[in-house]
Structure 1
Amino acid sequence: MNRLVLWNVDLTLVDVTIVTREAYADAFRQVTGRPLVKLAPAMGRADSEIIFETLAINGIVTSDEHLPKFIDALAGAFSGRRRRLDKDGRVMPGAKEALKAVSRLEGVVQSVLTGTIKSNAIHKLRAFGLDAFVDFEVGGYGEEVYPKATLLQVAQGRVKRMYGFTCDGSNTVLIGDSTRDVQTARIAGASMIAVASGRSTATELREAGANIVLEDLTNPSEVVAAVARLTTPMDRKAG
């Protein structure tokens, strides 16, 4: 049985908020020549969306050149701080054990579906030894200017090309912490395991339509059972 499991990164697997904010401030200054006054909230959104809103709320009239310049600056600013990630950030409880346990499922491919740009997503997971369990080449990232649900379908297409199996709603699971992640899965027709480790409560995640809601990732057997349940053809009941 072939399965695709896509993980959100921030507040699902890691929390590196302090370093991310500093990198954004650095990149903003590089691109605009001005200090950053206000950073747009993340709330499960892509870096491309956050960048445009941050420029707007700080009074910058955007052009076609702003996004690629900001992405390049953000990648450089974050990379320069990568050695601080394990000091000023943290791996979310149970994340490494959950990734490792899911990786043992028959036919599973694990990657990420994240608002973070690809280079920064790799730094975030590598800092905590999580990179060994995911294939970054088939993921979806914040520099790709697509709605997140479309990005999930893009990731499915990449798996088809690289691994040779078709991904659809019967064998694709998204694991994330926000109601926006839930909406992404529902629009794309994938199953959703929501983890109440971010800013959305368990109740909000259930009401948004998550198939299964976990309080955290500290029970790897529970995570594996949830993935197996949602990718087994005869058993796809909501939890």
Structure 2
Amino acid sequence: MNRLVLWNVDLTLVDVTIVAREAYAAAFRMVTGRPLVKLAPAMGRPDSEIIFETLAINGIVVDDHHLPRFIDALAVAFGDRHKRLAKEGRAMPGAKDALKAVSRLDGVVQSVLTGTIKSNAVHKLAAFGLDKWIDFEVGGYGEEVYPKATLLQVAQGRAKAKHGHAFAVGNTVLVGDSTRDVQAARIGGAAMIAVASGRSTAAELQEAGADIVLPDLSNASEVVAAVARLTSSATTGRRAG
């Protein structure tokens, strides 16, 4: 394995916003004993960051125990609702075909770099049959309290430990929908395919420094060509221009 493709989950591969909001509300009540009044906006941030801000804006004095308790409660609340994901959510256009097509590239391993905690990321992708192409062991997840750029490097390290090959900017691609994803790729050491399927516009993604910007994932051949171009050094010894 000498190519690493890391996928953002929410609004890149799936949209399960309704169920996710309900799970947050249930987890908040479990941890605090109070109803959730306001949920902090996601904006491409990890669950750990959203949890801290949600507690603060709802008047909770945050203690050391809050984050692990909230993460556990969020996993339970989301797991209790996982059967509703396929009915009330959706796979993003082209996601399944894109994952399947990229999996056929020589030497590729696909995982996720997501703000979602690991158990919930698995639920989200499994609900739409997208999990079969993902190696969850080498991903980066929302319960890990790192900036996303650092989490990208953690995922590269996990991939190296498992597959025995070093992963860096010339053979790692992040696929995501937010300017935060673009920033993480640029700082963490990966090429960036940005898809304008989330809340960031194509112009914003281009301005942030994405290598390639696509409207969505609906053209699987275009996605594969982009990954192949950006990881050409994995097979030729040089980075694509």
- With the shorter chain as reference, the TM-score category is over 0.9
| Structure 2 match to 1:103 | 103
Q: Does 1:236 align with 2:229?
A: no
Cα distance in 2 for residues equivalent to 1:204 and 1:147: 21
Q: Does 1:144 align with 2:155?
A: no
CA contact (8 A) 2:2 2:165 kept: yes
Identity %: 79
Q: In the TM superposition, what whole-angstrom CA distance separates every residue of 1:189-222 from its partner, at most 9, and x where no partner exists? A: 2100000000000000000000000001001000
Deviation (angstroms), 1:235: 4.8
Q: In the TM superposition, what whole-angstrom CA distance separates every residue of 1:7-50 from its partner, at most 9, and x where no partner exists? A: 00000000000000000000000000110000000000000000
| Structure 2 match to 1:74 | 74
Superposed counterparts of 1:23-62, under 5 Å: 23-62=23-62
Cα distance in 2 for residues equivalent to 1:162 and 1:126: 23
CA contact (8 A) 2:153 2:189 kept: no
Secondary structure, aligned partner of 1:10: coil
Unaligned runs of 5+ in 2: none
Query: Structure 1 residue runs of 4+, over 3 Å off?
Result: none
Letter in 2 for 1:81: R
Letter in 1 for 2:147: P
Cα distance in 2 for residues equivalent to 1:25 and 1:216: 30
Cα distance in 2 for residues equivalent to 1:136 and 1:183: 23
Q: In the TM superposition, what whole-angstrom CA distance separates every residue of 1:30-89 from its partner, at most 9, and x where no partner exists? A: 000110000000000000000000000000000000000000000000000000000000
Secondary structure, aligned partner of 1:63: coil
Deviation (angstroms), 1:236: 2.6
Deviation (angstroms), 1:2: 1.2
Q: Does 1:21 align with 2:3?
A: no
Deviation (angstroms), 1:107: 0.1
| Structure 2 match to 1:209 | 209
Superposed counterparts of 1:119-198, under 5 Å: 119-198=119-198
Q: In the TM superposition, what whole-angstrom CA distance separates every residue of 1:83-108 from its partner, at most 9, and x where no partner exists? A: 00000000000000000000000000
Cα distance in 2 for residues equivalent to 1:66 and 1:76: 15
Cα distance in 2 for residues equivalent to 1:161 and 1:201: 36
| Structure 2 match to 1:4 | 4
Unaligned runs of 5+ in 1: none
Task: Give the alignment's TM-score, normalised by structure 1.
Answer: 0.98
Cα distance in 2 for residues equivalent to 1:203 and 1:221: 23
Q: Does 1:200 align with 2:200?
A: yes
Letter in 2 for 1:113: L
Q: In the TM superposition, what whole-angstrom CA distance separates every residue of 1:163-190 from its partner, at most 9, and x where no partner exists? A: 1110011100000000000000000121
Secondary structure, aligned partner of 2:105: coil
Letter in 2 for 1:183: Q
Cα distance in 2 for residues equivalent to 1:151 and 1:235: 23
Inter-CA distance 161–235: structure 2 relative to 1 (3 Å threshold): closer
Q: Does 1:94 align with 2:98?
A: no
Cα distance in 1 for residues equivalent to 2:109 and 2:180: 23
Cα distance in 1 for residues equivalent to 2:61 and 2:154: 31
Cα distance in 1 for residues equivalent to 2:240 and 2:48: 34
